[in-house]
């Protein structure tokens, strides 16, 4: 596979959460690759700029995905029970077939 180089520039008004996320990544390239792979798997290949809202506030994400507290509770449940049954298939957290 050919190496692709892309420069990423962020707007000046980027949130502190986004900055903290970026700084916490040990391998930023791998992180971006994973996020892209997940997006393509869930929605196919598309130009996200046609779907990304101009204003993305905390309340926007809570309306779309639920509150942070609800998401944390789901994560904790998955962490305490790493085995998940889905369509008669057992999936273990952190493992793929």
Look at residue 5 and tell me if it is in a domain.
no
What is the structure's pLDDT at 95?
Answer: 46
| 17 & 44 share domain | yes
Residue 80 contacts residue 95 (beta carbons within 8 Å) = no
pLDDT (0 to 100) of residue 96: 47
The verdict on residue 27 lying in a domain is yes
Q: What per-residue confidence (pLDDT) applies to 84?
A: 56
**Would residue 8 count as lying in a domain?**
no
Same domain as 48, residue 17 = yes
| Residue 58 · residue 48 · CB < 8 Å | no
If asked whether residues 19 and 46 sit together in one domain, one would say yes
pLDDT in tens, 8-20: 888 888 889 899 9
Are residues 17 and 46 located together in one domain of the fold?
A: yes
Q: What per-residue confidence (pLDDT) applies to 97?
A: 46
Radius of gyration of the chain (CA): 17
Which residues of the chain are modeled with pLDDT < 70? 1, 68-97
Domain range for 87 is 66-97
**Same domain membership, residue 70 and residue 42:** no
**Could you give the count of Cα atoms lying within 13 Å of 4 in the half-sphere of its Cβ?**
7
**pTM tops 0.95:** no
Coil, strand or helix at 92:
strand
Q: Total domain count for the chain?
A: 2
């Amino acid at each position: 596979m050919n190496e692709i180089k892309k420069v990423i520039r962020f707007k000046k008004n980027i949130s502190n959460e986004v900055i903290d996320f970026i700084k916490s990544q040990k391998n930023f390239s791998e992180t971006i690759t994973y996020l892209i792979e997940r997006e393509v798997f869930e929605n196919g290949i598309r130009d996200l700029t046609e779907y990304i809202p101009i204003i993305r506030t905390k309340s926007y994400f809570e309306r779309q995905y639920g509150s942070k507290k609800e998401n944390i509770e789901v994560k904790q449940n998955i962490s305490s029970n790493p085995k998940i049954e889905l369509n008669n298939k057992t999936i273990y957290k952190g493992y793929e077939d």
